[in-house]
Amino acid sequence: MAIGDVTTGAENDLVEATGLARRMVARWGMGNLGLVAFKSDDHQPFLGYDLSQGREYSEATAAKIDQEVQRLLEERHKAVYELLTGAREKLDLLVDTLLKEETSTRLCWQKSSKLVPRMLTE
């Protein structure tokens, strides 16, 4: 978003966000499928484990889970995109600061721009 090109830099972010959204929907009942937890053993290190174990829910339910995960990711992407494009000057300042300093602290923000990130004020 910041440089205007599609890059591979967000790969791990996408993997982690997808995993979190899947847990939200399938384990914690935080999606439109309701308060239900679908059993999942996604921490098994053995290749092919999922194929040999199967699922305790139907293909139709699996498709609904996938759709809900996609909906959550798209919804949050849109919200974050709007937030960052609406605050482009602040984003550019943060990028410049991080390129120079490698970290950003509350004091750094106060000195350079009199701006304090919202999460640091709460």
State the Cα–Cα distance between residues 82 and 86, nearest whole angstrom: 6
pLDDT of residue 23: 93
DSSP per position, 49-113: HHHHH--SS-HHHHHHHHHHHHHHHHHHHHHHHHHHHHTHHHHHHHHHHHHHHS---HHHHHHHH
Which residues contact residue 26 at a Cβ distance below 8 angstroms, ignoring those fewer than 6 apart? 37, 38, 40, 65
pLDDT of residue 106: 63
State the Cα–Cα distance between residues 47 and 50, nearest whole angstrom: 8
- Here the tokens at position 7 are 């890059």
Q: What is the mean pLDDT of the chain?
A: 77
pLDDT band at 122 (very low <50, low <70, confident <90, very high): very low
Tell me the percentage of the chain whose pLDDT exceeds 90. 28
What pTM was computed for the model? 0.63
Task: List the chain domain ranges.
Answer: 11-86
Kindly report the CATH number that applies to the domain delimited by 11-86. 1.20.58.760
Average pLDDT over residues 78-107: 76
- Here the tokens at position 101 are 């300093």
